[in-house]
Structure 1
Amino acid sequence: MTYDKSDGRPLRVAVLGCGSVGSQVVRLLTEQADDLAMRIGAPVQLAGVAVRRLDAPREVEVPADLLTTDPHALVTRDDVDLVVEVIGGIEPARSLILAALEGGASVVTANKALLAEDGPTLFAAAEKAGRDLYYEAAVAGAIPILRPLRESLAGDRVTKVLGIVNGTANFILDKMTTSGAGFAEALEEAQQLGYAEADPTADVEGFDAAAKAAILASLAFHSRITVDDVHREGITGVTAADIASAADMGCVVKLLAIAELRGIDGGGEAVAVRVHPAMIPTSHPLASVRGAFNAVFVESEAAGELMFYGPGAGGAPTASAVLGDLVTVARNLLAHTRGVGESAYADRAVLPMGETLTRYHVAVDVDDRTGVLAAVATAFAEHGVSIRTVHQEGRGADAQLVVVSHRATDAQLSATVEELERMEIVHQVTSVMRVEGDEE
């Protein structure tokens, strides 16, 4: 149904989910109703809130007559103009969004997992229905990053997006850096403070960041990138020794989401997308991002370097992004128009991780005798990897070589590490970590 302001009725909003984000969306819709009406040009009214259990405790009190356990009936009601989806996950979120769009409602979602897995299906449904699908809250909470990529930088050419997009992982690594805590200890504190779930797998293994990286890459490079295209490594293997080695190099360790354009043989460009822990110089703006905060660093040809920083999660910050989208979508409904849809015209291929150019920091326990350094250098050279710096730490049984490479393909560097592990003079490769941010 097309909204007609002349009917004198308010725009009606259905909210799917009333957890930490959904409850804050309901609160803001209620408390800021007058301001929202002035900004949009018409009053906005809550049509209903879909929940799993009617009697569950909630952060915000919701009138009983607005609660329902039948989300499909809610989103397909004739009087619903706009649906806010904050239940997360793949199903039933996908079916509900598709039903809402088919029924004529526009949609605002914070569902990063669904967008990263099956975004094209949702965008196609929105296009067919002539409705909006907005999703600023899906990446980096309150930080406005998707709209700048989609609209503000539409006349520019983005070449790289580098970000800290998971607050839990950043809190853990920051705690390890500042206090000397081990991973397990830092994770326990994050759970006690509410930054990490009881099952932190999605955060510490990089699944959450990978979904966000796919969304950022799709927008930045006008190509369809799914979560399956993202190389993913988590932070569970990061040790106190890695943190100390980074400090010795004037670096800190961060879980980074990286999406960049790369030239390919024969001409043209491909997209490289990856999530992994990396050492980054303390001089880089992202190095100063502390605690559970997020930041996204964007490089483009005309605008140069831009950074977006702020709280990347939490009920109220994420709800702020949801309400921002809601206002835009509501204005579009009043104007009988729609915003920018999917832009995938470039259709760039995704570069395999093995072909991605990276740098490595490698720590190797070795025999303390003549010829060891030459043998290790030869292993790097045989795989086409140039050494940038190398130094020895310790003597005798504690001898260790620390090597930092120049850029090479990830496959070349991985092959070098595998050869080091087979060498008799090498006792153990104790640390392998990529180095980012210090461009050559």
Structure 2
Amino acid sequence: MALPRGAGVPVVRREHLGGEWQEVGRGGFGRVYRARHKDLRMDVAVKVLNDNASHFVFKEASFMDLASNEFVLRVLGTYKGPGGERGLVTEYMRRGSIESLQKALSGPPPWPLAFRLAHQIALAMDFLHHKNFVHLDLKPNNILLNDTLNARLADFGLSTVSRSVEMNSTNMQTGPRGTYPYMPPEAFDAKYEPVRAFDLYSYGILLWSIFTGREPYQGALFSLVELRITEGDRPRCEDLLGLQVVGISDLVSLMKNCWDKDPHKRPHFKDCLKITERLFPEHSNGIQRAITEVLARLESSNQQGITKLNDVEGQRSVCDGASLSISGETMSRKAEFVDHHKPTIIQRVSNALAIAEELGSKVHSEIYCNIRAKKTNQDRVRELYCTTLRSGGERVKAAFYDALKKHEFDLMQDLEN
């Protein structure tokens, strides 16, 4: 199935976008900004891609345009900047994603909202599969939320036209695609060709994450996660089954059916919808109250963030005339720490891939591929020091320090004591 070139995807140039651009996200693909579309008179999200990812612009925009649906993020055009930079312009979702919601709530959303999200994602994916597309990257960060916390499926960068598993070997993919905690066991085979069953597996893991508020296999190395998944290990459901929640046992059964090791035994999304359509009405009476409570929590969290920012700005003004601001002093201290403890950090880091992923766009995609190809954590961290940390300066070293604090707690405690 060929994609029609230029179908429904206009070009949006810099002069069409006014206001001060606000960065709202970043990753290995590039950065996302909030801007104001002058003609449409609405806030939009501008996803500006790194040079190495810019060739995905038209493909992703075409998939999103063809997959236009109530629960799919609406693409408004491709972006072309004055310096030749490329990207996508979409509607702006100011409530973030399921991932950011989990962080704000420090856990799962209220049950009515969780059941509604499960149903809406199934609706979006059923529509996508009817269009003969597979998404290949279902995860909390790729489910955005509108002002009333309805789901919007996003990030079609890995999407492709679904094919039969009986493909000629010359058309096979060269390696695994997606986010590895959400990838099915068969996808770790370098010769795997993505089919719809991939998305069903990811949906099962995504449901578990939504209803527990946790990330699967959190902090585990890629090699360990790959081994656990391929050997049949899945997230634990005992805590969910112990809850007195209407429909939770049916939902857990759906999760387990979706993440079955045999892709042929996984249900289709039309089968998932039969279950979510039955479960959500059991909780629909509480949906408005749940939304009101969550929005209040989010507003409170945002206000606290603004207060903290104002406090920091106030501290900076007190230091007027000093040679360095507070943030500058902190950055220098972190960079010095990273340089001083280089041998120990290289020797003892156990989550090198997680740290590289945490650095996001600060690690060039080619360097990231080189890091993943290394067989030991020591070689991976050594590669980071020789490339990204050497050229990135104090700001990147400070980000590396923060990633170490998050993923190497015991190591950092030893080094700082």
TM-score (norm. length: structure 1): 0.26
Larger Rg: 1
- With CA pairs under 8 Å and 6+ residues apart, which has the higher RCO, 1 or 2? 1
Question: Where is the helix percentage greater, Structure 1 or Structure 2?
Answer: 2
